[in-house]
């Protein structure tokens, strides 16, 4: 008798951290009673601690699949959508039908206008858990189920330099290069001395052969972004990320056509439908889907669509426990157009202690986890970190 889905659970978790993601709070800024604050330069809300939703799906035979949703804010809203809205419809279904289930879940809320946002984030964690389950039931990795593993070692870039001063950030970048990393990304939202000063200091520190990427954090108009990227490229900029606001498609296309540096966008997008017009209008040459927003099914749909437009895929890595990182690597290991992965060192290393996996980063490479499914499971202590709204 085939195994059917018997239980769908969602756990809002909060993993403590000493220094907030991207670095310490600015002077005069403090977290509110819910543990959130806003970074002034990109006007974006961040949690002080790492928050996400862990999804657990259990079959009639007792097999368990694990997933994780992007839910760094509004964490309980995502969990509620899983347990209250979508989960009950999954009971009795065959977990091997994962892509069909993803599309059925997506269809449920389309005409209400929920084809993005928190709703699709909820679907992402379910989809990852179903792929994990499907892999475990046939004792195969997700990458194998997706069609095969091109490489079990994936080159990655060091994302974010959370030290307080430009000198310390440059020293940190140099240390990373000494450990074998060949690419570094800095974040404009915390480049308080200005991106060009930061770029110059980093280039001096790492030498000519290391790729330097810059996340512009959606801060500029198209003409401002073009000017900024050209100024950064004096020091050989490998990639400019998120130059203009996500709603400004024409601006994205203008920047992409106006500079010689590859433009990357898309960490905030969730579906083929959101990416489609950006591909058609050549808004970027690199896309950055995040599996914790898209799920595995749609991540692969988007990435294969990218190949049709000769775009590369450099997956975004969010604030999470690490189950989502394992899922992302399973996808990337299969793709022929994913040359570089994002390594969120300040999140990944700390939270690796809470999952059972042999996934690791060494000398500039992610090692794809072995084992069936996504190759990572939460440890029991994760469930001590479930928090109330």
Q: What minimum distance in Å lies between the beta carbon of 268 and Mg ion?
A: 9
Q: What minimum distance in Å lies between the beta carbon of 292 and Mg ion?
A: 13
Nearer to Mg ion by C-beta: 239 or 376?
239
Please give the backbone phi and psi of residue 180, each rounded to the nearest 5 degrees, phi first. Answer: 110, 0
How buried is residue 225: exposed, middle or buried, by Cβ count under 10 Å (0-12/13-18/19+)?
buried
Task: Single out the segment in contact with Mg ion by CB under 5 A; choices: 130-138, 214-222, 223-231, 365-373.
Answer: 214-222
Q: What is the DSSP string of 92-149?
A: T--GGGHHHHHHHHHHHTGGGT-SSHHHHHHHHHHHHHHHHHHHHHHT-BHHHHTT--
Q: What minimum distance in Å lies between the beta carbon of 191 and Mg ion?
A: 13
Nearer to Mg ion by C-beta: 189 or 205?
189
Q: What is the DSSP string of 5-32?
A: EEEEEEEEEEE--SS-TTSSPPTT----
Task: Single out the segment in contact with Mg ion by CB under 5 A; choices: 3-11, 26-34, 160-168, 212-220.
Answer: 212-220
Q: What minimum distance in Å lies between the beta carbon of 241 and Mg ion?
A: 5
Nearer to Mg ion by C-beta: 121 or 215?
215
Q: What minimum distance in Å lies between the beta carbon of 207 and Mg ion?
A: 25
- The C-alpha atoms of residue 223 and residue 88 are separated, in whole angstroms, by 49
Task: Single out the segment in contact with Mg ion by CB under 5 A; choices: 22-30, 210-218, 275-283, 326-334.
Answer: 210-218
Nearer to Mg ion by C-beta: 55 or 340?
340
Q: What minimum distance in Å lies between the beta carbon of 356 and Mg ion?
A: 29
* Element holding 183 (H helix, E strand): strand 183-187
Task: Single out the segment in contact with Mg ion by CB under 5 A; choices: 195-203, 208-216, 278-286, 291-299.
Answer: 208-216
Residue 342 binds Mg ion (CB under 5 A)? no
Q: What minimum distance in Å lies between the beta carbon of 315 and Mg ion?
A: 11
Spatial CB neighbours of 23, under 8 Å, sequence gap ≥ 6: 160, 162, 163, 164, 190
Site string for Mg ion, 37-76 (x = CB under 5 A): ----------------------------------------
Q: Which of 121, 127, 215, 377 binds Mg ion (CB under 5 A)?
A: 215
β-pair type (153-159, 64-70): unpaired
How buried is residue 230: exposed, middle or buried, by Cβ count under 10 Å (0-12/13-18/19+)?
middle
Task: Single out the segment in contact with Mg ion by CB under 5 A; choices: 213-221, 229-237, 307-315, 379-387.
Answer: 213-221
Joined tokens for residue 362: 């060494």
Q: What minimum distance in Å lies between the beta carbon of 271 and Mg ion?
A: 19
Task: Single out the segment in contact with Mg ion by CB under 5 A; choices: 10-18, 174-182, 209-217, 317-325.
Answer: 209-217
Total number of residues that touch Mg ion (CB under 5 A): 1
Reported residue count of the chain is: 389
* Element holding 144 (H helix, E strand): helix 142-145
Nearer to Mg ion by C-beta: 198 or 215?
215
Q: What minimum distance in Å lies between the beta carbon of 109 and Mg ion?
A: 27
Nearer to Mg ion by C-beta: 247 or 381?
247
Cα separation values, 308 from 60, 250, 260, 301, Å: 40, 21, 21, 11
Bridge partners (DSSP) of residue 361 are: 366
Site for Mg ion in 89-128 (CB under 5 A): none
For the chain, helix, strand, coil in percent to 5 are 40, 20, 35
Residue 151 CB neighbours (<10 A): 13
Residue 196 CB neighbours (<10 A): 15
Joined tokens for residue 14: 């909060």
Residue nearest Mg ion by beta-carbon distance: 215
Residues at the interface with Mg ion (CB under 5 A): 215
């Amino acid at each position: 008798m085939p195994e059917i889905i018997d239980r769908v659970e969602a756990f809002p978790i909060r993993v403590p951290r000493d220094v907030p993601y991207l670095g310490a709070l600015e002077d005069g800024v403090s977290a509110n009673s819910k543990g959130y604050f806003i970074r002034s330069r990109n006007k974006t809300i961040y949690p002080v601690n790492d928050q996400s939703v862990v999804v657990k799906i259990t079959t009639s035979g007792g097999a368990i699949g694990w997933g994780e949703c992007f839910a760094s804010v509004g964490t309980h809203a995502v969990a509620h959508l899983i347990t209250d809205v979508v989960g009950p419809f999954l009971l009795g279904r065959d977990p091997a039908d994962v892509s069909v289930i993803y599309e059925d879940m997506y269809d449920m809320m389309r005409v209400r206008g929920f084809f993005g946002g928190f709703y699709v984030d909820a679907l992402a964690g379910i989809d990852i858990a179903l792929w994990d389950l499907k892999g475990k039931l046939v004792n195969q990795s997700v990458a194998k189920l997706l069609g095969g593993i091109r490489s079990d070692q994936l080159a990655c870039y060091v994302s974010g330099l959370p030290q307080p001063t430009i000198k310390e950030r440059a020293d940190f970048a140099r240390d990373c290069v000494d450990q074998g990393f060949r690419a570094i990304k800095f974040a404009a939202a915390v480049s308080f001395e200005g991106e060009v000063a930061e770029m110059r200091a980093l280039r001096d520190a790492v030498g000519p052969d290391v790729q330097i990427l810059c996340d512009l954090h959606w801060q500029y108009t198209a003409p401002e972004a073009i000017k900024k990227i050209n100024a950064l490229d004096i020091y050989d900029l490998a990639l400019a990320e998120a130059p203009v606001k996500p709603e400004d498609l024409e601006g994205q296309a203008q920047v992409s056509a106006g500079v010689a540096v590859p433009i990357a966008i898309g960490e905030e997008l969730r579906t083929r439908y959101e990416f489609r017009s950006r591909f058609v209008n050549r808004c970027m040459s690199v896309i950055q889907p995040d599996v914790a927003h898209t799920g595995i099914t749609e991540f692969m749909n988007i990435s294969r669509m990218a190949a049709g437009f000769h775009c590369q895929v450099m997956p975004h890595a969010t604030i999470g426990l690490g189950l989502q990182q394992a899922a992302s690597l399973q996808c990337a290991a299969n793709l022929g157009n994913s040359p570089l992965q994002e390594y969120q060192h300040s999140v990944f290393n700390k939270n690796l202690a809470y999952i059972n996996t042999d996934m690791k980063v060494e000398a500039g490479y992610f090692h794809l986890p072995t084992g069936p499914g996504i190759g990572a499971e939460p440890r029991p202590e994760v469930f001590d970190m479930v928090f109330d709204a």
